[in-house]
A = this chain, B = another copy of it.
Amino acid sequence: MEGCSNKVSRDSHPMDSIINVGKNTIGGNKITIIASPCSVESEDQIVNIAESVKLSGATFLRGGAFKPRTSPYSFQGLGEPALELLKIAREKTGLPIVTELMSLAYLARFIDEMDIIQIGARNMQNYPLLKELGRTNKPILLKRGISATIEELLMSAEYIISEGNEKVILCERGIRTFEKYTRNTLDLSAVPILKRLSHLPVIVDPSHASGLWWLVEPLSKAAIAAGADGVIMEVHNNPTKAKCDGEQSITPNKFDKLMKSLRAIANIENKEL
């Protein structure tokens, strides 16, 4: 990857890429904080969480409408109605929306109505989907597959960029290892490596990586200290009743406190939050 002419490579684009989404900016000296209940459950829930994370300084709202689940019998998200609820939350808070696309069937709607399209770990090598996204002008949040190498993640980003869309944000979210205490093993080395090899912004998802809410705080701080451009984390006003992934969600109160710590570390790194 070093010394090569791929469009994701820093050699082809020495300056950091900065991606504008509405009034927000991702990359450069800005720290992006994407707060999210794992899945959108109701208008009350999503608006409530959105309002509280906005007050604490979140810059984006993520919410799952379509949820890829290992079992066909697990809750798979509210689907299209969730998109409507996310739009209501955006209207009330001004937070732009990130949500996951699993199928080309919804692409047009996502382009029209959502702000950032997330491609989940399971679809990181769904090349027909990546190519199609490369023909749009929409910012894409591309998550690393649970067993993808750093180079494979970059080559998947290349699938998007090679078709013309340069607005790709990379996301480290844990890799599969033998260690069982955490759901996956967050690979923070990936952050400085991706920043060295590529010009794209890199954010970190400690919630999905660890699966444990009490690891979100130390790992978020570590991510910013390692040079990440942002963090995406699960926040839920009632984690024990969350329809999925409650165990990895922090409360709005903890989120507020964490934002202060992250701001202090961001300042050391000469970044703004």
**B179 near A175 (CB under 8 angstroms)?**
yes
**A196 near B219 (CB under 8 angstroms)?**
no
Is A253 part of the binding interface, using a Cβ–Cβ cutoff of 8 Å? Answer: no
Is A177 part of the binding interface, using a Cβ–Cβ cutoff of 8 Å? Answer: yes
Is A224 part of the binding interface, using a Cβ–Cβ cutoff of 8 Å? Answer: yes
**A158 near B225 (CB under 8 angstroms)?**
no
Q: Which residues on the B side are within 8 Å of A150 (C-beta)?
A: 179, 181
Number of this chain's copies in the assembly equals 4
**B127 near A125 (CB under 8 angstroms)?**
no
A window 204-228: CB within 8 A of B:
209-210, 214-215, 218-219, 221-227
- Minimal Cβ-Cβ distance residue in B for A159: B72
Among listed A20-28, A184-192, A244-252, interface-contacting one:
A184-192
Is A137 part of the binding interface, using a Cβ–Cβ cutoff of 8 Å? Answer: no
User: A165 → chain B, closest Cβ, in Å?
Assistant: 13
A residues sitting closer than 8 Å to B (CB atoms) are 68-73, 102-105, 122-123, 125-128, 131, 145-147, 149-152, 155, 158-159, 162, 175-182, 185-193, 196, 209-210, 214-215, 218-219, 221-227, 261, 264-265, 268
Starting from the known contacts A72-B127, A104-B104, 11 additional A-B residue pairs (CB-CB under 8 Å) come to: A69-B127, A72-B162, A122-B126, A145-B147, A149-B180, A177-B185, A181-B189, A186-B187, A218-B225, A221-B225, A264-B268
